[in-house]
Amino acid sequence: MLAHNVFFTLYDSSTEAINAMVEACHKYLKDHPGVAFFAAGEVVEDLARPVNDRMFHVALHVVFDTRESHDVYQTAEAHLKFIDENKSKWKQVRVFDSNC
Protein backbone atom coordinates (compact mmCIF):
# COMPACT_ATOMS: atom_id res chain seq x y z
CA MET A 1 0.00 0.00 0.00
CA LEU A 2 1.07 3.60 -0.56
CA ALA A 3 0.01 6.59 1.55
CA HIS A 4 -0.33 9.90 -0.31
CA ASN A 5 -0.65 12.83 2.12
CA VAL A 6 -1.01 16.37 0.83
CA PHE A 7 -1.07 19.51 2.97
CA PHE A 8 -2.48 22.67 1.40
CA THR A 9 -1.81 26.18 2.65
CA LEU A 10 -4.30 28.54 1.04
CA TYR A 11 -3.98 32.21 0.19
CA ASP A 12 -7.46 32.72 1.64
CA SER A 13 -7.70 31.25 5.14
CA SER A 14 -11.40 32.00 5.58
CA THR A 15 -13.75 29.25 6.72
CA GLU A 16 -15.50 29.45 3.36
CA ALA A 17 -12.30 28.94 1.36
CA ILE A 18 -11.16 26.07 3.57
CA ASN A 19 -14.56 24.36 3.32
CA ALA A 20 -14.54 24.81 -0.47
CA MET A 21 -11.13 23.12 -0.73
CA VAL A 22 -12.25 20.19 1.43
CA GLU A 23 -15.36 19.86 -0.77
CA ALA A 24 -13.24 19.93 -3.93
CA CYS A 25 -11.08 17.12 -2.53
CA HIS A 26 -14.18 15.02 -1.91
CA LYS A 27 -15.64 15.86 -5.32
CA TYR A 28 -12.59 15.00 -7.42
CA LEU A 29 -10.26 12.76 -5.44
CA LYS A 30 -12.06 10.12 -3.39
CA ASP A 31 -13.54 7.71 -5.93
CA HIS A 32 -10.47 6.62 -7.86
CA PRO A 33 -9.73 2.94 -8.51
CA GLY A 34 -7.42 1.45 -5.93
CA VAL A 35 -8.25 3.88 -3.10
CA ALA A 36 -8.26 1.91 0.15
CA PHE A 37 -8.77 4.96 2.40
CA PHE A 38 -9.68 8.60 1.77
CA ALA A 39 -9.99 11.58 4.09
CA ALA A 40 -9.85 15.35 3.67
CA GLY A 41 -10.29 17.97 6.36
CA GLU A 42 -9.05 21.12 7.99
CA VAL A 43 -6.29 21.55 10.55
CA VAL A 44 -7.37 20.98 14.16
CA GLU A 45 -6.73 24.40 15.65
CA ASP A 46 -6.61 23.39 19.31
CA LEU A 47 -3.96 20.68 18.85
CA ALA A 48 -1.06 23.03 19.32
CA ARG A 49 1.56 20.88 21.00
CA PRO A 50 5.19 21.77 20.18
CA VAL A 51 5.46 18.73 17.88
CA ASN A 52 2.36 19.59 15.83
CA ASP A 53 3.00 21.13 12.41
CA ARG A 54 -0.01 23.37 11.87
CA MET A 55 1.28 25.30 8.86
CA PHE A 56 -1.56 24.19 6.59
CA HIS A 57 -5.29 24.70 6.18
CA VAL A 58 -6.44 21.48 4.49
CA ALA A 59 -5.03 17.95 4.69
CA LEU A 60 -5.71 15.24 2.12
CA HIS A 61 -5.01 11.59 2.96
CA VAL A 62 -5.32 8.90 0.29
CA VAL A 63 -4.07 5.36 0.77
CA PHE A 64 -3.78 3.34 -2.41
CA ASP A 65 -3.77 -0.44 -2.59
CA THR A 66 -0.70 -0.41 -4.85
CA ARG A 67 1.93 1.94 -6.22
CA GLU A 68 0.41 1.37 -9.66
CA SER A 69 -2.99 2.69 -8.47
CA HIS A 70 -1.24 5.81 -7.17
CA ASP A 71 0.56 6.29 -10.47
CA VAL A 72 -2.69 6.01 -12.47
CA TYR A 73 -4.35 8.50 -10.09
CA GLN A 74 -1.63 11.08 -10.79
CA THR A 75 -2.70 11.37 -14.44
CA ALA A 76 -6.42 10.69 -13.99
CA GLU A 77 -8.76 13.24 -15.53
CA ALA A 78 -10.52 14.06 -12.24
CA HIS A 79 -7.19 14.58 -10.43
CA LEU A 80 -5.92 16.89 -13.17
CA LYS A 81 -9.22 18.81 -13.13
CA PHE A 82 -8.90 19.25 -9.35
CA ILE A 83 -5.42 20.68 -9.81
CA ASP A 84 -6.47 22.97 -12.66
CA GLU A 85 -9.48 24.36 -10.77
CA ASN A 86 -7.71 24.83 -7.44
CA LYS A 87 -3.99 25.51 -7.94
CA SER A 88 -4.49 29.29 -7.98
CA LYS A 89 -5.78 29.03 -4.38
CA TRP A 90 -2.64 27.32 -3.04
CA LYS A 91 0.04 29.35 -1.37
CA GLN A 92 1.96 26.15 -0.65
CA VAL A 93 1.45 22.42 -1.25
CA ARG A 94 3.47 19.77 0.54
CA VAL A 95 3.23 16.12 -0.51
CA PHE A 96 4.36 13.19 1.63
CA ASP A 97 4.27 9.76 0.01
CA SER A 98 5.19 6.66 1.97
CA ASN A 99 4.82 2.91 1.90
CA CYS A 100 2.48 1.46 4.46
Q: For 51-96, how does the pLDDT look when each residue is reduced to its tens digit (9 = 90+)?
A: 988 899 999 999 999 999 999 999 999 999 999 999 999 999 999 9
pLDDT, residue 53, reads 87
> Could you list the residue range(s) of the whole structural domain that residue 71 is in?
2-46+55-99
Contact 82, 29 (CB under 8 A): yes
Mean pLDDT of the chain: 97
Domains in the chain, number: 1
pLDDT, residue 84, reads 98
For the chain, percent of residues with pLDDT exceeding 90: 91
Residues 6+ apart with CB under 8 A from 38: 29, 30, 61, 62, 63
CATH number for the domain including 23? 3.30.70.100
Contact 21, 86 (CB under 8 A): yes
Residues 14-21 have a mean pLDDT of 98
What pTM was computed for the model?
0.95
